[in-house]
């Protein structure tokens, strides 16, 4: 693929901790991707609209507030409702092991918890985006 992969990096929910999201954004940039950074406190609706207007290949969300079980699936479902099936969705943040299977079940393709090397996330996105 000779075009850059476009990734929306978003912070849904109300926590103000964006260090992780910024580290990931920077790493994706250094991997040659175009990162659309949304900033803090995004609603699922805002994230979905951003993904549409930016024609994103991937939406990467970070949550440290514990609201992941609510907000991640909400973004997945909103995209589905709009008939968008070619956007890869991944999540990260402090997410308990026990919650991960449920999130994957809900349609989040990958969950990356603290300590994940950025190269793992980068490879996952590269290998799993749905458009060539």
Q: Which residue number, 70 or 82, has a Cβ lying nearer to other proteins?
A: 82
Contact criterion met (CB below 8 Å) for 59 and 10: yes
Query: Is residue 29 near other proteins by the rule CB under 8 A?
Result: yes
Dihedral sign for Cα atoms in the order 36, 42, 48, 52: negative
Question: Could you tell me the two tokens for 79?
Answer: 């995209």
Tell me the residue length of the chain: 132
Burial of 96 (0-12, 13-18, 19+ CB in 10 A): exposed
Question: Nearest distance from residue 86's CB to other proteins, in Å?
Answer: 9
Number of residues binding to other proteins, judged by CB under 8 A: 31
Query: Is residue 53 near other proteins by the rule CB under 8 A?
Result: yes
Which residues contact residue 76 at a Cβ distance below 8 angstroms, ignoring those fewer than 6 apart? 89, 106, 107, 108
Question: Could you tell me the two tokens for 20?
Answer: 């992780």
Query: Is residue 15 near other proteins by the rule CB under 8 A?
Result: no
Question: Could you tell me the two tokens for 100?
Answer: 């991960």
Q: Which residue number, 42 or 62, has a Cβ lying nearer to other proteins?
A: 42
| Interacting residue with other proteins among 14, 16, 23, 55 (CB under 8 A) | 55
Query: Is residue 24 near other proteins by the rule CB under 8 A?
Result: no
Question: Nearest distance from residue 11's CB to other proteins, in Å?
Answer: 10
| Interacting residue with other proteins among 16, 23, 80, 84 (CB under 8 A) | 84
Binding footprint of other proteins on the chain (CB under 8 A): 2-4, 6, 25-26, 28-39, 41-43, 45-46, 49-50, 52-55, 82, 84
């Amino acid at each position: 693929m000779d075009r850059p992969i476009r990734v929306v990096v978003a912070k849904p929910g109300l926590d103000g901790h964006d260090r992780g999201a910024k580290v990931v954004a920077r790493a994706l940039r250094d991997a040659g991707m175009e990162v659309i950074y949304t900033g803090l406190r995004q609603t699922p609706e805002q994230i979905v609209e951003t993904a549409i207007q930016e024609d994103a290949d991937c939406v990467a969300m970070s949550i440290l507030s514990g609201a992941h079980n609510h907000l991640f699936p909400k973004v997945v479902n909103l995209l589905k409702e709009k008939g968008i099936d070619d956007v890869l969705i991944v999540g990260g943040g402090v997410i308990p092991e026990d919650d991960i299977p449920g999130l994957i079940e809900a349609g989040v393709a990958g969950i990356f918890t603290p300590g994940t090397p950025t190269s793992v996330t980068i490879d996952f996105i590269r290998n799993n985006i749905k458009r060539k």
